[in-house]
Structure 1
């Protein structure tokens, strides 16, 4: 649906409003924008006239946002940020083909990053932007085209492309595993346990799948897989790790299994994208390439 032009304020008026809202001052906004105070005031007044409501309460020489102004400022700030990001992307890649991807940090550094040179050769015209975060991205708030997600395909108004599952293995430094000489899954309670904040019940679930009681699990908390791996390597405790993320440590003997059999996780890794981006050409190319790469793991 085409938006009526009368509902689209001039960009300079939006910049004036956003600067005044952020700084809380017409004079500060004027200095930031290299305009006169009267010019900023006129632009904001014209914006209010176009919208048919007041965005600021004016009291002598001070201003403060109305309730409507507070809500509008948040939305306009995000809209201007998106315009800025789009402009930077097109300058970095004038031929188009920009793709912005949200990734899980350790998945990105330990699995995806080493494969990206192959994608660059496969699709040299596509410019990738990568942003990492442990918590889920919000497609309504974050300027991304797709995200790597681990868990279940439960994301509103999104398309899920399955990549691969994972198997988890209790591992620790050789000295620690030798010291505790684990005989049964229940024995892990004797050792210090390392727990990932985004998977707080991982040890309980692992014990339950072994047919053991799954209560009273305590351990040291970490917010990042990479920190858990380094802590386990240093002998700080036993970690429950996806095997594909610790291949180098296992091969080098820096980490060794407490039990030989890896346990499949019920969740999977997915490439998730907003439903309306499904036919975006750079996303389609990346999705096809990623699925082919993931098939090797599967």
Structure 2
């Protein structure tokens, strides 16, 4: 599709607009862009002429954006970020390509990392860059080709591959119990509970599936991720509801004890998620095809 030139202003004029919105000073814009203030003013005038509308409120020597121009600058900022990120990727990518991956800290470290040497052996030409993210983000403004995501396959504008269902197990340090016997989930409520921000309703859902907790408080301390909540459990601060794959070693070594005989599957699961616009990305295609051989069957348990 051919875009009319009047809809494609110069990068310099867009940078001047975005910088003025962000810095609120023509002199600061000039310094950031290594231009004179008059050159910045000309860039903005050129943009106004091309768009056929006023963007700047000129008060003596002070320049400010109109309300419409502020909204426009916010969209421009997002577009400029995408351009800079795309440029960085194409400059730093090896010939065979790179894959920028957002990972969940615990799942990425404990589930993905042990499997990655196999991918590196099969595809040494692909470089995988990783950064941690705990919450959903906007693929349009973050420099990622794909993400490891917990929840449901309902991230708008994306496609996904199921990797693993999550199964939870209540665990604590042996020292926390002392002589206390745990005969049923109700007995766990006599101990301090440890909660995690990304699963704030986890205890409620887990307990509700087995006992009536309508009149029982579920207070306790809150932690931001599994790495910190597991340390709290290990040091006897309370009972943590943990994914089974994260506590296998501590249970085997006796550092933690399970307060329920079997893990219970939750409604959420771990997915590889990628934007629909990246569905033909060569490195991503190789990665997800390989990951499909490591993932859990789609429906391992009766529903």
CA distance in 2, matches of 1:283, 1:209: 38
Q: What is the CA distance between 1:132 and its match in structure 2?
A: 1.9
1:284 aligns with 2:285: yes
User: Aligned residue for 1:213?
Assistant: 213
**Counterpart in the other structure of 1:201:** 201
Aligned to 2:17, the other structure's residue is in SS state helix
Alignment: residue pair count: 298
What is the rounded CA distance, in whole Å, between the counterparts of 1:278 and 1:195 in structure 2?
A: 36
Task: Give the aligned partner of residue 83 of structure 2.
Answer: 83
Structure 2 partner of 1:186: 186
Q: Distance in 2 between matches of 1:225 and 1:81?
A: 32
1:137-161 CA-to-partner distances (Å, cap 9, x unmatched) read 2234333222222122222232121
Q: Any idea what the Cα deviations from partners look like across 1:155-209, whole Å, max 9, x if unmatched?
A: 2232121111121110011211344321111011110000111211111111122
Pairs within 5 Å for 1:242-281: 242-281=243-282
Matched, 1:124 2:132: no
Unaligned runs of 5+ residues in structure 1 are: none
* Counterparts of 1:133 and 1:252, CA distance in 2: 30
User: Which stretch of the first structure deviates more once superposed, 70-79 or 182-191?
Assistant: 70-79
CA shift, 1:99, in A, is: 2.1
Is the CA contact 2:192–2:237 (under 8 Å) kept in the aligned structure 1?
A: yes
How far does the alpha carbon of each residue in 1:216-239 deviate from its partner, in whole angstroms, 9 at most, with x for none? Answer: 211111121111111111111100
Q: How does 1:30-179 map to 2 (within 5 A)?
A: 30-95=30-95, 97-179=97-179
Name the CA shift for 1:117/1:5 in 2 (closer, same or farther; >3 Å): farther
Question: Residues 128, 5 of structure 1: CA spacing in aligned structure 2 closer, same or farther, 3 A cutoff?
Answer: farther
1:177–1:256 contact (8 Å) kept in structure 2: no
- Match of 1:293, SS? coil
Q: Which stretch of structure 1 is more off in the superposition, 96-105 or 64-73?
A: 96-105
- CA deviation map 1:42-73 (0-9, x unaligned): 11111121122222211112122211221122
Deviates more, 1:210-219 or 1:84-93: 210-219
Secondary structure class of the residue paired with 1:180: coil
In the superposition, the TM-score normalised over structure 1's length comes to 0.92
Aligned CA RMSD, in angstroms, stands at 2.1
Deviations 1:234-260 (A, max 9, x none): 111100000112233223322221222
Which digits, 9 at most, give the CA deviation of each residue in 1:253-292, with x for residues without a partner?
Answer: 2222122211112221111222232222221111112222
List gaps (5 residues or longer) in structure 2.
Answer: none
Deviations 1:85-138 (A, max 9, x none): 222222222415232222222212222233333323322222323232222122
Looking at structure 2, the residues matched to 96 and 14 of structure 1 have their Cα atoms a distance apart, in angstroms, of 33
TM-score w.r.t. the length of structure 2 is: 0.90
SS in structure 2 of the partner of residue 246 of structure 1: helix
Query: Could you tell me which residue of structure 2 aligns to residue 230 of structure 1?
Result: 231
- The answer as to whether partners of 1:137 and 1:147 remain within 8 angstroms in 2 is no
Q: Is the contact between residue 82 and residue 140 of structure 2 (CA under 8 Å) also seen in structure 1?
A: no
Indicate the larger mover: 92-101 or 40-49: 92-101
Distance 1:2 1:253 in 2: 66
